[in-house]
Amino acid sequence: MERNSSSSRSLELGLLALANLVSGSSAILIKASTINPVLQASYRLLFAAVALTPVFFRELRRSGRKLDFALVAPALLPGVILGLHFISWILGARMTLAGNATVIVTMVPVAMPFLVFFMSRELPRKAEVWGTIVAMAGVAILASFDFHFAPEHFLGDLVCFVAMLFYSVYLALARSRAPREGGLWLYIVPLYFTGGIFDFFCALPFANPVRGITRTDLIMTVALAIGPTIVGHSLMNRAMTRLQPQIVSLSNLTQFIVAGILAFLLFGELPRPEFAAASVLIVAGIALPILWRRAPRPVA
């Protein structure tokens, strides 16, 4: 039983690592596009939802449930919040410095314990607290070099902070609303449809939904749908139901490492020396709660 439990945990950790590896390409794919970012956020979510619809109906048949409001209701609020995250993140990133936006989004592990406790009454374990401290030391290194406070960027910093909170709330809601065993696609597909439709109507006043979209935009949007959305976000939601929430939030910090490596390989953007030190601390902070096991109690 213990071996099966250990294997299952290893599988979930592996899937979580895959989610962050794939999601780390999101910024690169968006950077390579010229389409309105909010419209692209809508299209990536809607494409993912349509692509997963056959899986949704297969799972619906297996579950024996009806397609009604009660089935999709748990995904509606998280879907809107995911849509708000995309919008606020894009707006905030454009209103402030790239370094400021990067540092602010890495604060998810600080917000997550409070949100999870408020929603599910769960407290982080001791190892997770220490892991968060170590990882946030890496974030502090980033902040000391990349974060620059200036009155003209304050509003952008604030919007990025709100975007970070939206993302944290979206993940925390998966902990309490997504099914723990089976039926995950019955939650994920309505989630993507809701977020995609919400972002589409938000984008309409500012962008033509079809005009000016290039072949490259289509390729990048489909890649965003398949990689960071279908693989990344889906596995992240799964992880929130099967692993400790703080481990999931800490793992998100690896995405900036992946993005930094991809930026170097694809665009020749050489990371600063502090990037390596911050990366080491972040990886150590993630590994700490995963590897730290309580010693077994002696048998009386």
Quick: pLDDT tens for 51-110. 999 999 999 999 889 999 999 999 999 999 999 998 888 888 777 766 677 777 778 888
**What integer pLDDT is reported at residue 95 of this predicted model?**
78
pLDDT tier, 26 (very low <50, low <70, confident <90, very high otherwise): confident
- Residues 234 and 188 sit within 8 Å (Cβ to Cβ): yes
User: Residue 108 and residue 98: Cα distance in Å, rounded?
Assistant: 17
**What integer pLDDT is reported at residue 297 of this predicted model?**
44
pLDDT tier, 296 (very low <50, low <70, confident <90, very high otherwise): very low
- The answer, yes or no, to whether residue 172 has pLDDT greater than 90, is yes
Nearest C-alpha neighbor of 166 from the set 91, 273, 59: 91
- The answer, yes or no, to whether residue 250 has pLDDT greater than 60, is yes
Is 268 within the bounds of a domain? Answer: yes
The helix/strand/coil state of 213 is: coil
**What integer pLDDT is reported at residue 7 of this predicted model?**
78
Lowest mean pLDDT among 6-10, 57-61, 76-80, 160-164: 6-10
- Residues 165 and 111 sit within 8 Å (Cβ to Cβ): yes
- Residues 176 and 240 sit within 8 Å (Cβ to Cβ): no
- Residues 170 and 78 sit within 8 Å (Cβ to Cβ): yes
Please name the residue that has the structure tokens 């911050």: 278
- The beta strand positions in 80-217, using DSSP E, are none
Using a pLDDT cut of 90, give the percent of the chain over it: 45
- Residues 232 and 27 sit within 8 Å (Cβ to Cβ): no
**What integer pLDDT is reported at residue 55 of this predicted model?**
96
Q: Give 42's contacts (C-beta < 8 A, 6+ positions apart).
A: 83, 196, 197, 198, 199, 200, 202, 203
- The answer, yes or no, to whether residue 120 has pLDDT greater than 90, is no
Q: What is the mean pLDDT of the chain?
A: 86
Is 3 within the bounds of a domain? Answer: no
* Chain centroid, CA 253 distance in Å: 10
User: Residue 158 and residue 289: Cα distance in Å, rounded?
Assistant: 30
**Higher-scoring residue by pLDDT: 35, 95:** 35
Is 28 within the bounds of a domain? Answer: yes
User: Residue 139 and residue 256: Cα distance in Å, rounded?
Assistant: 11
Is 296 within the bounds of a domain? Answer: no
Is 7 within the bounds of a domain? Answer: no
CB atoms within 10 A of CB 83: 27
**Higher-scoring residue by pLDDT: 35, 196:** 196
Is 158 within the bounds of a domain? Answer: yes
Lowest mean pLDDT among 82-91, 136-145, 146-155, 282-291: 146-155
- The answer, yes or no, to whether residue 298 has pLDDT greater than 50, is no
Is 150 within the bounds of a domain? Answer: yes
Question: Could you tell me the residue range of the domain that residue 63 belongs to?
Answer: 12-291
Using a pLDDT cut of 70, give the percent of the chain over it: 93
CB atoms within 10 A of CB 30: 19
> Mean pLDDT, to the nearest integer, of 138-145?
80
- The answer, yes or no, to whether residue 146 has pLDDT greater than 70, is no
CB atoms within 10 A of CB 69: 8
CB atoms within 10 A of CB 266: 12
pLDDT tier, 3 (very low <50, low <70, confident <90, very high otherwise): low
Domain count along the chain: 1
> Mean pLDDT, to the nearest integer, of 44-53?
96
pTM of the full predicted structure? 0.87
> Mean pLDDT, to the nearest integer, of 178-205?
92
Nearest C-alpha neighbor of 21 from the set 194, 228, 175, 198: 228
- Residues 155 and 95 sit within 8 Å (Cβ to Cβ): yes
Is 6 within the bounds of a domain? Answer: no
